[in-house]
Structure 1
Amino acid sequence: MQNVVAHGATIPALGFGVFRMSDAEVERVIPAALEAGFRHFDTAQIYQNEAALGQALRAAGARRDELFLTTKVWVDNYSADRFAASIDESLNRLQVEQVDLLLLHWPADKVPVAAQIEMLNAAQAAGKTRFVGVSNQNIAQMQESVRRSQAPIVTNQVEMHPYLPQAALVAASRASGVAITAYYGMADGAVPKDPALQKIGAKYSKSAAQVALRWLVQQGHVALSKTARPERVKENFAIFDFALDDSDMAAIASLARPDGRIVSPAGLAPAWDA
């Protein structure tokens, strides 16, 4: 497993996300994920499966000091009376004293970024998280977060896949020392079916999904993978025994398209840069 280092945080480059997974699916797949080698797990308050993840990790005997746990504060909790309390609830559900990384889930438009960052910093100062970051912020919001945050912003978790490579955001992030964490790497099921990615995979005896995950980590990003099927977990993890050549990287970059974005919920998403 390789790592991404940002502002003192060492983040396993491949994480296991539990978005849109039921408690039963989480409890069934987490042992397989641990066995395959996953140690970075990503959840969120709004996923409503923090408790299932915490229980599954404990039941599997996972050592806390070997795990990197990320959760995200939901927008309804961006208030003085709910922010800290909601994090305590998350920690209780996860059965830990602190998470490794705490993110603001969406910028939304009701609470200024400055106020969100102030509450996030307070949570870090209180020892509820080792590191802090943001999610789904555009370039201007991310740069404001970096300027206003006393604690370093270690990552911006955003949608990224071959159809949405986020070139402008990547450049701005690198200039600020902020790592990119990529979610929706499979483009909601489009990637595994893509003939161009399948053709590249055939060169390395890999699947299109493995090619896309490798493409993400080879750029220096953190990639979140996801499957509810234990038998598929090993495939998702097996991306560190090959490297894409320059022509492959260029071919994948050529798949970018103007309508590549999939996730953009009204009232939560910012004005995107591209």
Structure 2
Amino acid sequence: MTEQERAPAGVDATVPSVARMYDYLLGGKDNFRADREAAAQIIQLSPNAKEVAQANRAFLGRAVRAVAEGGIHQFLDIGTGLPTQDNVHQVAARFSPGSRVVYVDNDPIVLVHARALLAETDDVVVVEGDMREPKAILGHPDVTGHLDFRRPLTVIMVAVLHFIPDDDQAQSIVRTVRDSLPSGSHLIISHVTAGELGSDVVGEGNDVYRRTTAGNVTPRTREQIAGFFEGLELLEPGLVSTTDWRPEVALDPSLAGPGGADILCAVGRVP
């Protein structure tokens, strides 16, 4: 059976998907040849791509644990990606039993896998939605029926905003989400930055992503990423690389791997 035959209806397995590329970088199996080839090109440009992806995923788990231990029982994960180990609902349930989670994505394969894996619990809902239309997500009946926006909740936008090329649109998306949250809520964001890469390499990387379902990738500066948290109180240690956000084990610099791009992250609390 060819990969196209294995792909769900409406999915072109010859077009790389950023969700499946990420799955490959994390060591997953839910990807096609086109995804692996595109990811390999990214690794050539940024040799630390696998380490950065894994550090980003680990940050997500630590951030969810932090807010769950702080008493948050509701989570809205926008751009969830393919299920893997220690998904948001699993971490949340471990540290805040009874937590309710809504996963949102617009990738057909993500939705198929998520619904199959998550059908085991009534505490989790999977919704088709596009972060470029945040009001539609926030007003979706399955979202409002599962989460109570009168009580504190956490919105997760991990490694997704860099697929929005327009700076004003990216800020508007976050502002719309931020303004919908009651006091005591949290916003978890991570975002790619150029790190040690020069502008020519960043341009080559964007050429690769231009051929994917996302159509682009836009690294932003620390100042631009900090702007997403305007008006929020940052949990310690603030806006840092994913490896530096409350690491459970100190990273040995000799094991950091080759240089390249980086991902900055933070968790903001609504005052």
TM-score, normalisation: structure 2: 0.38
